[in-house]
Amino acid sequence: MAKSKPEPEQKHITPGRVAFMDGRGELPMLEVITEWSTAGIYLHGAHVTHFKKKDEAPLLFLSQCSRFGQGEPIRGGIPIIFPLFGPREGLPQHGFARLKTWELKEFAPAPDGSVTVRFCLPDCPEASAFPPFTAEYIVTVNASLTLQLVVTNTSREETFNFENCLHTYLEVGDIVGVSISGLKGVSYLDKVSNFAQKVQTEDAIRIASEVDRIYLNTPGAVEVLDSRLGRKIRVEKHGSVSTVVWNPWVGKAQQMPDFGNEEYQRMLCVESGNVTSNLIRLPPGETSTLKVKLSSERQ
């Protein structure tokens, strides 16, 4: 009897996978694996610390000196800045969202191989300083990384005024070989010059000293060209009219205990949100969504 021909090997395309594990500081985290990329997300701050496409360098910078502990911000990745940006009497710098353990509500592999993970900010004492609200965070991992911060004002009468920002730390090959475009003609507050109001005149921003700028009334995308890594990163956004560009350079780097002295050479923050005069005034019952899509391509 003729030997039956072996069945052709079934090519297993495992839709996205999610693995739970103890991360640094034994903080619980998820690892998301798709056919294009891997990502790491801590429940602490619903903090995406890692995103890497198969054939590229990591997209996000994470400091080797970062702390990983209750009540401490993680230095790198994508901190969620909410409900305030910067310092505020009696509240933690940049708000409390990045310091809280978020609840994992759902993770859903999609037929196209993407994975979506949804988190919810639990109630906390600090929130009582604001009208009642809910905050959800949705992370979608595929060949790019998409983040959505969804805030609903659940009060009956009160307007909820807040700031939000996805404080993205991008990994770069060498900061002096980077140029940032998409902000020409936009007004900004220069924190390095005591918040002096200025206008972006050059086509592209180059970094050769401390830069800490809040660009206002700008809904457009930003592109980061990295000559050392031969990569272009695109930061697209919706529901955001502020863009913050930050590099601490030498001096500030030495002052930050959770940041390596030389690490300023390998990171650049391009942050998307609504801060200072662009803050959100959310009427009762309404919802605001801040959406950011990070994508990259080899040059």
Determine, following the binding rule CB under 6 A, whether residue 167 of this chain makes contact with ligand TA6: yes
Specify whether the CB–CB gap between 49 and 76 falls below 8 A: yes
Determine, following the binding rule CB under 6 A, whether residue 93 of this chain makes contact with ligand TA6: yes
Options 5-13, 86-94, 116-124, 155-163: segment touching ligand TA6 (CB under 6 A): 86-94
**Tokens describing residue 189:** 């507050």
Task: Report the C-alpha gap between 54 and 115 in whole angstroms.
Answer: 16
Which of 107/259 has CB closer to ligand TA6?
A: 259
Q: How far is the CB of 141 from ligand TA6 (least distance, A)?
A: 24
Which of 140/272 has CB closer to ligand TA6?
A: 272
Which of 32/269 has CB closer to ligand TA6?
A: 269
- How many C-beta atoms lie closer than 10 Å to residue 150's C-beta? 17
Task: Report the C-alpha gap between 58 and 239 in whole angstroms.
Answer: 26
Determine, following the binding rule CB under 6 A, whether residue 73 of this chain makes contact with ligand TA6: yes
Q: Which of 50, 167, 171, 236 is catalytic?
A: 167
Q: x/- contact string, 216-245, with ligand TA6 (CB under 6 A)?
A: ----------------------------x-
Q: How far is the CB of 191 from ligand TA6 (least distance, A)?
A: 6
Determine, following the binding rule CB under 6 A, whether residue 191 of this chain makes contact with ligand TA6: yes
Residue type, 118: R
The interface with ligand TA6 within residues 257-286 (CB under 6 A) comprises: 271
Q: How far is the CB of 27 from ligand TA6 (least distance, A)?
A: 17
Q: How far is the CB of 117 from ligand TA6 (least distance, A)?
A: 23
Which of 135/244 has CB closer to ligand TA6?
A: 244
Task: Report the C-alpha gap between 283 and 153 in whole angstroms.
Answer: 7
Q: Which residues contact 139 (CB under 8 A, 6 or more apart)?
A: 32, 39, 41, 46, 48, 116, 117, 118, 119, 145, 146, 147, 148
167 catalytic residue (yes or no): yes
DSSP string, 147-191: EEEEEEE--SS--EEE-EEE--EEE-S-GGGEEEES-TT-EEEEG
Straight-line distance from the first to the last Cα atom of the chain, in angstroms, rounded to the nearest whole number: 58
Which of 14/93 has CB closer to ligand TA6?
A: 93
Q: Which residues contact 22 (CB under 8 A, 6 or more apart)?
A: 28, 29
238 catalytic residue (yes or no): no
Interface ranges with ligand TA6 (CB under 6 A): 73, 86, 93-94, 167, 191, 212, 244, 246, 271
Active site positions, annotated? 167, 271
